Amino acid sequence: MIRVRKFDGSLEAYNRKKIVAFCLRMGASKGEAKAIADRVEGRLYDKIQTKNILQMARRYVARYQPKVRLRRDLRSAISLLRSKPDWELFVQHLMSEIGFEVEGNRILRGKCVENEVDGVLRKNAQTIMLEVKHHAAPHTKTRLDIPREVRSIFEDLTEGFTLGYHDIDFTDALIVCNTKFTTEAKKYADCRGIGRLSWKDPAERGLEVIIEEEKFYPITILREVDKKMKTTLGDNGIIVLKQIIDADLKKLAAKTGIREERLEGLERNARKLLVG
Amino acid sequence: MIRVRKFDGSLEAYNRKKIVAFCLRMGASKGEAKAIADRVEGRLYDKIQTKNILQMARRYVARYQPKVRLRRDLRSAISLLRSKPDWELFVQHLMSEIGFEVEGNRILRGKCVENEVDGVLRKNAQTIMLEVKHHAAPHTKTRLDIPREVRSIFEDLTEGFTLGYHDIDFTDALIVCNTKFTTEAKKYADCRGIGRLSWKDPAERGLEVIIEEEKFYPITILREVDKKMKTTLGDNGIIVLKQIIDADLKKLAAKTGIREERLEGLERNARKLLVG
């Protein structure tokens, strides 16, 4: 049996489905994905690193779908966003895209202290306290301390509302994070009714599925967006590819100091990824 | 007016009382403390750093009380203890010294998850959940996230008790920390009834007062205890000076590999500090 060494150093049995799913996510057709999985399997060896398998698959996908060369994988792309304000804004925009009415960060007086929330989401009868979390290292898990804190903030704010200290009647809390939660953190959040949206979590429709469905790619998905450009664009509120396509590039060039030709190149590649 | 620059960079008016109190804490008599404050005041200048004033005072105290040369100041000494297990054990011992019945760390099943507590303290009708916190940098403050987490753990454990998941009926929670709390963290803890014991907090009887009253000095108060010796002794459960005096030095030397003569020197200096 071929075993695969994961990012955390642990071993697990090779799973063909994961490769096929990865190729589909990278834009391959079903037939292409299967053919790629066959080719990858011809080159496996025991204890091969996940990273190496994915690089291999990625290279094969690029032969069928050249535009793949333009992009980073989604997981790296979102981990490259800055925690503040990029990731916070990204999540707020994404939530709005999937049908929530979104209010940006607020400082609200709870029973005991002032609490900062990263957003207020509304849909039907729900009013959700949003807590956003970002890890620059995509394999750092969100631990128990985060849902514990959210629980205390939620308590403080709902009691503060009852006391008339602020006017938002929160019904729920939600943590949106770019990385996975630890098992204990999930258990605690489930037990306390705190919602989670993160990498492959919930399993049936995690963050990565929503982003792919909405093609709500961060600008960092383009390989040509380096640290400096990410910062300049982020400082000007440009965080997702769609914004580049919608922008008036002449004005954006004037505002950011990035050459207009470079922005045009960016827009061209953004279109290739989005339209595909 | 002479202003003093504090560790955090802020300025405040020079306060003679603080110098006198410092000298008393270092072992000077009242008369000596006043004389030292006079001498210090002769050498002040605007925006002098707190650190420099204390060094000056310390030097003067050493002229009156030569044993002062043997010791570090208490604040540095406790920050030099390792978070685990030293500081945890130190706090457990200290609590026992001031009349609590102390049980060491436990893992207890709450309503949602297993929670680790750093100790269980009992006195009269109180059963206290102990949370211990340690910062290696003595000026790092303990922030709001800590009491928020403690609040969630306390909730989970009291609900777990009601459900019959464990058998400790906690009535209170207490955070013991070697550094100060932020204003917000204090406000939150007070509001939620979480006890605090830390540097100069509570104001009338903070951690530093209790340690001085009980002469419950950590071994790191002796200047001759370097990193290696601290680690070796700590690994063998020796954390406070009193333990050195009570120990069988021959056996301790055999167990730790520290030369017996060195331990004898340590004991001599420990006695000088403890005996007055």
Residue A27: is its pLDDT beyond 70? yes
CA distance B257 to B231: 12
Q: Which residues of B are less than 8 Å from A144 in CB distance?
A: 113
Quote the mean pLDDT of chain B. Answer: 94
Considering only CB atoms, which residues of chain B are within 8 Å of chain A?
A: 111-114, 144-145, 148-149, 151-153, 155-156, 184, 187-188, 191-192
Q: Which residues of B are less than 8 Å from A165 in CB distance?
A: none
Instruction: Say if residue B136 is in the same domain as residue B235.
Output: no
Examine residue A76 and state whether it is found in any structural domain, yes or no.
no
Q: Which pLDDT belongs to residue A275?
A: 77
Instruction: Say if residue A102 is in the same domain as residue A179.
Output: yes
Residue B165: is its pLDDT beyond 70? yes
Q: Which pLDDT belongs to residue B156?
A: 98
Examine residue A77 and state whether it is found in any structural domain, yes or no.
no
What's the CATH number where B145 sits? 3.40.1350.10
CA distance B164 to B152: 18
pLDDT digit string (tens) for B22-39?
898 788 889 999 999 999
Q: Which pLDDT belongs to residue B276?
A: 58
Q: Which pLDDT belongs to residue B268?
A: 95
For the residues A214-223, what does the mean pLDDT come to? Answer: 94
For the residues B151-157, what does the mean pLDDT come to? Answer: 98
Amino acid occupying residue B195 = G
Tell me whether residues B148 and A144 touch, CB distance under 8 A: no
Instruction: Say if residue B149 is in the same domain as residue B189.
Output: yes
Picking from A112, A129, A183 by the largest number of B CB atoms within 10 A of its own CB, the best residue to mutate is A112
Q: Which pLDDT belongs to residue B24?
A: 87
CA distance B3 to B14: 5
Examine residue B230 and state whether it is found in any structural domain, yes or no.
yes
- Per-residue CA distances from A110 to A32, A114, A120, A160, A174 (Å): 55, 6, 15, 4, 18
Instruction: Say if residue B92 is in the same domain as residue B130.
Output: yes
Q: Which pLDDT belongs to residue A69?
A: 86
Instruction: Say if residue A45 is in the same domain as residue A161.
Output: no
Amino acid occupying residue A186 = K
Q: Is B101 left (phi over 0), alpha (psi -120 to 50) or beta?
A: beta
Amino acid occupying residue A163 = L
β pairing state of A194-197 and A119-123 = unpaired
Residue A276: is its pLDDT beyond 80? no
Instruction: Say if residue B100 is in the same domain as residue B10.
Output: no
Of the residues A47, A70, A93, the one at which a domain ends: A70
Examine residue A177 and state whether it is found in any structural domain, yes or no.
yes
Examine residue B75 and state whether it is found in any structural domain, yes or no.
no
Of the residues A191, A213, A235, the one at which a domain ends: A213
Amino acid occupying residue B146 = I
Residues B217, B218, B223: CA angle, nearest 5 degrees: 100
For the residues A258-273, what does the mean pLDDT come to? Answer: 94
Q: Which residues of B are less than 8 Å from A192 in CB distance?
A: 112
**Which burial class, exposed, middle or buried, applies to B147 when counting CB atoms under 10 A from its CB (0-12, 13-18, 19+)?**
buried
Picking from B109, B112, B192 by the largest number of A CB atoms within 10 A of its own CB, the best residue to mutate is B112
pLDDT digit string (tens) for B202-246?
998 999 999 988 899 999 999 999 999 999 999 999 999 999 999
Of the residues A42, A70, A98, the one at which a domain ends: A70
**Which burial class, exposed, middle or buried, applies to A272 when counting CB atoms under 10 A from its CB (0-12, 13-18, 19+)?**
middle
For the residues B141-158, what does the mean pLDDT come to? Answer: 98
pLDDT digit string (tens) for A84-116?
999 999 999 999 999 999 999 999 999 999 999
**Contacts of residue A59, Cβ cutoff 8 Å, sequence gap at least 6:** none
Instruction: Say if residue A127 is in the same domain as residue A158.
Output: yes
Instruction: Say if residue B112 is in the same domain as residue B188.
Output: yes
**Contacts of residue B215, Cβ cutoff 8 Å, sequence gap at least 6:** B241, B242, B273, B274
Tell me whether residues B145 and A149 touch, CB distance under 8 A: yes
| The 3-state secondary structure of A19-80, one letter per residue | HHHHHHHCCCCHHHHHHHHHHHHCCCCCCEEHHHHHHHHHHHHHHHCHHHHHECCHHHHHHH
Instruction: Say if residue B40 is in the same domain as residue B137.
Output: no
Instruction: Say if residue A110 is in the same domain as residue A58.
Output: no
Instruction: Say if residue B208 is in the same domain as residue B225.
Output: no
Instruction: Say if residue B52 is in the same domain as residue B115.
Output: no
Range of the domain at A227: 217-275
Examine residue B55 and state whether it is found in any structural domain, yes or no.
yes
Residue B67: is its pLDDT beyond 90? no
Residue B275: is its pLDDT beyond 80? no
Examine residue B110 and state whether it is found in any structural domain, yes or no.
yes
pLDDT digit string (tens) for A133-170?
999 998 899 999 999 999 999 999 999 999 999 999 99
State the CB neighbour count (10 A cutoff) for residue A178: 28
| The 3-state secondary structure of B15-42, one letter per residue | CHHHHHHHHHHCCCCHHHHHHHHHHHHC
Tell me whether residues A188 and B112 touch, CB distance under 8 A: yes
Contact B195, B175 (CB under 8 A): yes
Examine residue B158 and state whether it is found in any structural domain, yes or no.
yes
Distance (Å) from the C-alpha of residue B130 to the closest C-alpha of chain A? 17
Residue of A nearest to B151 (CA): A152
Chain mean position to CA A77? 8
One DSSP character per residue, A92-152 reads HHHHHHTT-EEE--EEEE-SSSEEEESEEEEETTEEEEEEEE--SSTTPPB-THHHHHHHH
CA distance A136 to B14: 44
Q: Which pLDDT belongs to residue B68?
A: 84
Amino acid occupying residue B253 = A
For residue B249, report the phi and psi dihedrals to the nearest 5 degrees: -65, -30
CA distance A245 to A233: 13
CA distance B4 to A106: 37
CA distance A106 to A132: 13
Q: Which pLDDT belongs to residue A22?
A: 87
Residue of B32, B5, B7, B12 whose CA lies nearest to B20: B32
CA distance A199 to A177: 7
B68, two tokens = 């002062």
What's the CATH number where B270 sits? 1.10.150
- pLDDT-derived band at A78, boundaries 50, 70, 90: very high
Q: What DSSP element (H or E) covers B158? A: helix B145-162
Question: How many domains are there within chain A?
Answer: 3
